[in-house]
């Protein structure tokens, strides 16, 4: 039996926050990089620095190509409307664009910030350095109206084409009551529908070539195999796909905007619904980020409970993936067996939390409740039950020759392509690249657990499925270790800013009653600062980039989701496929539209 | 007065045909329930079990529901062909049943070229799917229709070739005579390969999983019948299930001795029952296939057909002919 001692656990920390600035200026002397100031209070240790917008392209050239170990992945790109921010440094202007880049060789991230004045919301595009910056820049334009010079095709991505205004601006209304009541008269409906019509010329596609007239097939937003409201327009020659344009935004709920008007605590249920199959896995990066800002240390028992439930949701999500992947290929039965397994596991989740798919169970500083009596029997039964079922599915799905025929060498991409397009999670590991955040940058106590990182080698649909299947077995291992090593102690930190606040002595002394009253009614006030925390979620790396302005609500909530990046690379892998291959590929990518659109 | 009885024979045929049609259609409808129930059981769930005992009245409920649906013809479709397509399908399958010998005394027609008639009707049934795909004037339907055309045209070839062994051995195209020729032993003993090819081609002809590419709901939403609703949709469904029954019946007639059974068993039940039992076995097999297999890709299906099935069928025919010539069988 593996002994797990959480007291030895230490979260991963990046080294050399300053060294990277020196390294860059050593390569390019004329670059002026200014380090962050104390007032910004960036508490994650991602090296961050500012650059003038005129030098952005030059800096990106260095960072992407000229450094010895370049930052080859554009991990995230976001903007911040700083106009209403109270605690801001002198070099911060009206808008900030923040580039989050990653080097796998160094195992180091870097955050580059550019200040923009509201009279000149223009910036050079970085699409020529990182192809996947394309969608991120479109999103920033969509949300903030910042124009990127040199972008291939800057247009709306999450909002409908007919939308007026840029939603994440502080001036844009955040509540329905601040706007006119919504109506959709018939003439407006016609306009909206017309705006949805696909015009190949706009996307630089030809309607025909010498030999053929292409067919443009509108797959989605409602289609049995697009797993949600996702539209992909295919340019086809017969059944072969010549090119395609993914169109997202049908599931956009403005989760980031909601973050700006929910208290730190009451935003937790919203996070559950980002990757709606991930349950508490979504709470994880969010509460970690808030805890980091507030300086809360989570007790060991809460850590283990969190890991255990998060791994349960990894299994739940992967089981659904497994079944739907088989179903997309045409095997009707596996999903029903897997739903039985999910049902059993949901039973355990329900016993723990009272809810099933969206428990919203993590709290700032710990979890909502202690585990119920007899939880260990429930979990032990399941730990003994699932591996046998997985063995059966192995025969039914993975060894099935038709499934192999449909998925081996279909929808393959290389490690390099995966990194170029920002792919993370099982999709990246299926290419044979061993990079799991839980191993490379342990968080929340994962460093004390014994598990392996399953790898594929071809990066095709089959490998993506294989990696997930093996991950379920590893999750079982982790859950078993949690089961055998559950520490005693509190399930929530003793800290005034935990939610809901400690109530034990409220009726005895006024000094506890007042903070309790204030923290319950207003919610905790989190110190001003900035933080980004990430977890290895079910579909890849998911993270929250939070900026607090010292208030009861977040000033900016940026959600980095894995599925967004994964969908962007679809045109690359689907070219030359048959329609049926595309369906298998879509199934194997395992995205959730709520995760893409937020 | 008895000399005029022969004039009643056409009338008797009309009665026989009406009885057969009025039995076949409910049977096909019940098959939908059987399939859903069996798949449910095989997938560890219940399936429809609410309407009537064990849910057996489900087909009736389905029928009522479908009758109550708006009979919608999309404005962009080719109206006449759109309406005609499902009818062609149902008629072709029903016509094929005319030549099936159910028992020594039951069977609408002992056509000399019964087997050829069946093959011809199977070929004509393709028009139903292709025309539906074309007339719907929708892209998914057209892709489905295209797939159906390619798939059925290729698999028809093997289906025709696979039964030639049977014809060689029995020396007739008459299905009743083919059954009678199996009195001493079913043809499956010598025609195993032929049966295998016939069955696969038959599944392909009836568009059932794993060969349901023309409708492939995960790819083409519903393929050729995407635009259909109400009674016209029901007709497609009807012909699919009748098709399943027909292919099962033909497998039994051609390879498993029709209503014949070896002696101790034969006296237990009337021949018709044996025939129905055998058909049920194959129908169950069809349903089980649907629950257990994924779907190949379009090009894989066609290359499997031309590269595996065609040589197999030809080889079977050749070997049968040689053995026949050598007088071994």
Q: What kind and span of H or E run contains A235?
A: strand A231-237
| Class of residue A194 by CB neighbours under 10 A (exposed 0-12, middle 13-18, buried 19+) | exposed
- Cα A579–B122–B250 angle (5° rounding)? 115
Pairing of strands A240-247, A231-237: antiparallel
Both tokens of A409, joined, read 């060498």
Chain A neighbors of B216, CB-CB under 8 A: 330, 580
Mutate to test the interface with A, among B219, B221, B289 (most CBs of A within 10 A): B219
Distance (Å, rounded) from C-alpha B308 to C-alpha B157?
A: 13
Kindly provide the b/e burial profile for residues B28-62, where b requires at least 16 CB atoms within 10 angstroms of the residue's own CB: bbbbbbbbbbbbbebbeeebbbeeeeebebbbeeb
pLDDT at B232: 85
Mutate to test the interface with A, among B218, B286, B299 (most CBs of A within 10 A): B218
Chain A neighbors of B293, CB-CB under 8 A: 330-331, 400, 402
Both tokens of A537, joined, read 């979620």
Predicted TM-score (pTM) of the model is 0.86
- Cis-peptide into B234, omega within 30 deg: no
Place of tokens 């992909």: A232
Chain B neighbors of A340, CB-CB under 8 A: 44
pLDDT at A179 over 90: no
B69 in reach of chain A (CB within 8 A): no
Cα dihedral sign, A461-A467-A473-A475: negative
pLDDT at A341: 92
Radius of gyration of chain A (CA): 24
B212 in reach of chain A (CB within 8 A): yes
pLDDT at A342: 92
Among all residues of chain B, which has the CA nearest to that of A220? B221
DSSP A213: B
Residues 276-305, chain B, touching A (beta carbon < 8 A):
290-300
Among all residues of chain A, which has the CA nearest to that of B215? A330
Query: Cα dist. A9→A294, A442, A449 in Å?
Result: 20, 9, 10
Both tokens of B61, joined, read 């409920």
3 state SS for A169-206: CCCCCCCHHHCCCCCCCHHHHHHHHHHHCCCHHHHCCC
User: Where are the alpha helices (H) located in A145-177, listed in sequence order?
Assistant: none
Of B42, B45, B294, which has the smallest distance from its Cβ to A406's Cβ?
A: B294
**What tens digit of pLDDT does each residue of A518-552 get?**
888 888 888 888 899 999 999 989 999 999 988 88
Among all residues of chain A, which has the CA nearest to that of B293? A331
Q: Are A339 and A323 in contact (CB under 8 A)?
A: yes
pLDDT at B36: 87
DSSP A543: E
Mutate to test the interface with A, among B294, B301, B308 (most CBs of A within 10 A): B294
Give the CA dihedral B180, B183, B185, B190, nearest 10 degrees. -20
Distance (Å, rounded) from C-alpha B294 to C-alpha A584?
A: 11
Among all residues of chain B, which has the CA nearest to that of A216? B139
**What tens digit of pLDDT does each residue of A215-268 get?**
888 887 888 777 888 888 888 887 888 888 888 888 898 889 888 888 898 899
Please report the ipTM that was assigned to this predicted complex: 0.82
**What tens digit of pLDDT does each residue of A437-474 get?**
888 888 888 888 888 899 888 888 899 999 999 999 99
For B77, list phi and psi in degrees, rounded to 5: -90, 170
Task: Give residue A476's pLDDT band: very low, low, confident or very high (50, 70, 90).
Answer: very high
Both tokens of A170, joined, read 């502080």
pLDDT at A570: 87
- Cis-peptide into A491, omega within 30 deg: no
**What tens digit of pLDDT does each residue of B256-287 get?**
887 777 777 767 777 788 888 888 888 888 88
Both tokens of A2, joined, read 């593996």
Q: How far is A421 from chain B (nearest CA, A)?
A: 26
Q: Do B44 and A336 touch (CB under 8 A)?
A: yes
Q: Do A330 and B43 touch (CB under 8 A)?
A: no
In tens digits, what is the pLDDT along chain B, a chain of 329 residues? 566 666 777 777 788 788 888 888 888 888 888 888 888 888 888 888 888 788 888 888 888 888 888 888 888 888 888 888 888 888 888 888 888 887 777 777 777 888 888 888 888 888 888 888 888 888 888 888 888 888 887 888 888 888 888 888 888 888 888 888 877 778 777 788 888 888 888 888 878 777 777 777 777 777 778 888 888 888 888 888 888 888 998 898 888 887 777 777 767 777 788 888 888 888 888 888 888 888 888 888 888 888 888 888 888 888 888 888 887 76
Q: How far is A540 from chain B (nearest CA, A)?
A: 25
Chain A neighbors of B218, CB-CB under 8 A: 224-225, 327-330, 583
pLDDT at A479: 92
Give the SS3 label for residue A545. strand
Q: Do B218 and A400 touch (CB under 8 A)?
A: no
pLDDT at A310: 92
B42 in reach of chain A (CB within 8 A): yes
CA-closest candidate to residue A555, choices A356, A259, A136: A259
pLDDT at A161 over 70: yes
pLDDT at A383: 92
A408 in reach of chain B (CB within 8 A): no
Distance (Å, rounded) from C-alpha B87 to C-alpha B128?
A: 8
Task: Give residue A186's pLDDT band: very low, low, confident or very high (50, 70, 90).
Answer: very high
pLDDT at A315 over 90: yes
- Cα A136–A138–A142 angle (5° rounding)? 115
- Residue A513, number of CB atoms within 10 A of its CB: 14
Distance (Å, rounded) from C-alpha A573 to C-alpha A412?
A: 7
pLDDT at A15: 63
Distance (Å, rounded) from C-alpha A425 to C-alpha A437?
A: 8
Q: Are A126 and A145 in contact (CB under 8 A)?
A: no
B70 in reach of chain A (CB within 8 A): no
Among all residues of chain B, which has the CA nearest to that of A331? B294
């Amino acid at each position: 039996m593996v002994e797990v001692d959480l007291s030895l656990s230490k979260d991963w920390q990046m080294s050399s926050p300053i060294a990277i600035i020196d390294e860059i200026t050593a390569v390019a002397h004329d670059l002026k990089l200014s380090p962050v100031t104390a007032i910004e209070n960036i508490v994650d240790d991602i090296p961050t620095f500012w650059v003038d917008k005129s030098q952005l392209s030059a800096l990106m050239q260095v960072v992407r190509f000229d450094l010895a170990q370049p930052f080859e992945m554009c991990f995230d790109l976001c903007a911040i409307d700083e106009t209403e921010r109270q605690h801001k440094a002198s070099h911060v202007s009206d808008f900030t664009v923040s580039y989050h880049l990653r080097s796998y060789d160094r195992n180091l991230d870097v955050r580059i910030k550019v200040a923009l004045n509201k009279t000149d919301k223009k910036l050079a595009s970085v699409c020529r350095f990182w192809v996947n910056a394309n969608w991120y820049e479109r999103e920033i334009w969509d949300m903030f109206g910042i124009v990127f010079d040199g972008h291939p095709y800057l247009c709306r991505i999450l909002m409908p084409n007919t939308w007026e205004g840029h939603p994440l601006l502080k001036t844009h209304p955040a509540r329905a009551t601040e706007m006119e009541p919504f109506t959709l008269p018939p003439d407006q409906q016609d306009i909206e529908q017309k705006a949805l019509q696909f015009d190949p010329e706009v996307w630089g596609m030809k309607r025909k070539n010498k030999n053929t007239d292409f067919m443009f097939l509108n797959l989605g937003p409602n289609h049995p195999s697009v797993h949600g409201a996702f539209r992909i327009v295919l340019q086809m020659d017969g059944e072969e796909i010549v090119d395609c344009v993914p169109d997202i935004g049908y599931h956009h709920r403005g989760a980031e905007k909601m973050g700006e008007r929910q208290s730190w605590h009451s935003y937790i249920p919203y996070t559950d619904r980002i990757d709606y199959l991930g349950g508490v896995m979504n709470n994880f990066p969010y509460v970690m980020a808030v805890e980091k800002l507030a300086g809360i240390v989570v007790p060991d028992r809460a850590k283990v409970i969190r890991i255990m439930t998060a791994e349960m949701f990894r299994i739940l999500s992967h089981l659904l993936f497994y079944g739907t992947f088989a179903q997309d290929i045409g095997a009707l039965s596996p999903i029903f067996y897997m739903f039985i397994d999910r049902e059993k596991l949901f039973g355990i989740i329900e016993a723990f939390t009272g809810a099933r798919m969206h428990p919203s169970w993590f709290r700032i500083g710990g979890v909502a409740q202690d585990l119920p009596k007899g939880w260990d029997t429930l979990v032990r039964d399941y730990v003994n039950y699932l591996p046998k079922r997985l063995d059966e599915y192995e025969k039914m799905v993975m060894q099935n020759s038709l499934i192999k025929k449909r998925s081996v060498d279909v929808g393959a991409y290389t490690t390099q392509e995966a990194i170029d397009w920002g792919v993370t999670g099982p999709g990246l590991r299926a290419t044979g690249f061993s990079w799991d955040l839980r191993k490379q940058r342990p968080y929340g106590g994962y460093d004390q657990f014994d598990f392996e990182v399953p790898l594929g080698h071809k990066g095709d649909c089959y490998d993506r499925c294989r990696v997930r299947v093996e991950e379920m077995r590893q999750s079982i291992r982790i859950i078993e270790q949690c089961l055998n090593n559950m520490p005693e102690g509190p399930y929530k930190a003793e800290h005034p800013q935990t939610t809901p606040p400690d109530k034990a002595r409220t009726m005895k002394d006024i000094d506890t009653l007042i903070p309790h009253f204030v923290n319950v009614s207003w919610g905790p006030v989190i110190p001003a600062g900035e933080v980004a925390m990430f977890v290895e979620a079910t579909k890849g790396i998911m993270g929250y980039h939070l900026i607090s302005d010292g208030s009861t609500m977040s000033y900016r909530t940026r959600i980095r989701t894995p599925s967004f990046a994964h969908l962007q690379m679809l045109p690359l892998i689907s070219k030359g496929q048959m329609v049926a291959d595309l369906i298998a590929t879509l199934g194997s990518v395992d995205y959730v539209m709520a995760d893409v659109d937020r | 007065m008895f000399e005029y009885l022969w004039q009643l024979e056409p009338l008797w045929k009309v009665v026989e045909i009406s009885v057969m049609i009025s039995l076949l259609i409910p049977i096909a409808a019940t098959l939908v329930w059987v399939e859903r129930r069996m798949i449910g059981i095989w997938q560890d769930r219940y399936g429809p079990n609410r309407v009537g005992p064990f849910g057996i009245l489900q087909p009736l409920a389905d029928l009522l529901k479908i009758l109550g649906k708006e009979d919608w013809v999309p404005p962009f479709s080719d109206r006449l062909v759109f309406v005609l397509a499902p009818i062609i399908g149902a008629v072709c399958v029903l016509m094929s049943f005319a030549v099936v010998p159910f028992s020594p005394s039951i069977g609408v027609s002992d056509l000399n070229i019964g087997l050829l008639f069946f093959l011809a009707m199977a070929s004509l049934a393709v028009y139903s799917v292709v025309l539906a795909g074309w007339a719907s004037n929708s892209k998914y339907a057209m892709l489905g229709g295209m797939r159906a055309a390619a798939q059925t045209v290729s698999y028809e070839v093997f289906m025709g070739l696979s039964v030639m062994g049977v014809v060689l051995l029995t020396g007739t195209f008459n299905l009743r005579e083919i059954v009678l020729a199996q009195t001493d032993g079913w043809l499956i003993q010598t025609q195993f390969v032929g049966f295998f090819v016939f069955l696969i081609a038959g599944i392909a002809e009836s568009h059932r999983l794993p060969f349901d590419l023309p409708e492939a709901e995960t790819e083409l939403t519903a393929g050729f019948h995407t635009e259909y609703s109400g009674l016209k949709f029901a007709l497609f469904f009807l012909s699919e299930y009748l098709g399943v029954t027909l292919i099962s019946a033909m497998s039994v007639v051609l390879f498993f001795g029709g209503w014949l059974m070896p002696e101790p068993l034969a006296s237990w039940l009337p021949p018709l029952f044996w025939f129905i039992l055998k058909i049920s076995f194959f129908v169950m097999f069809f349903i089980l296939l649907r629950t257990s297999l994924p779907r190949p890709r379009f090009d894989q299906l066609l290359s499997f057909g031309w590269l595996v099935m065609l040589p197999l069928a030809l080889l079977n025919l050749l070997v049968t002919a040689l053995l026949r010539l050598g007088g071994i069988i």
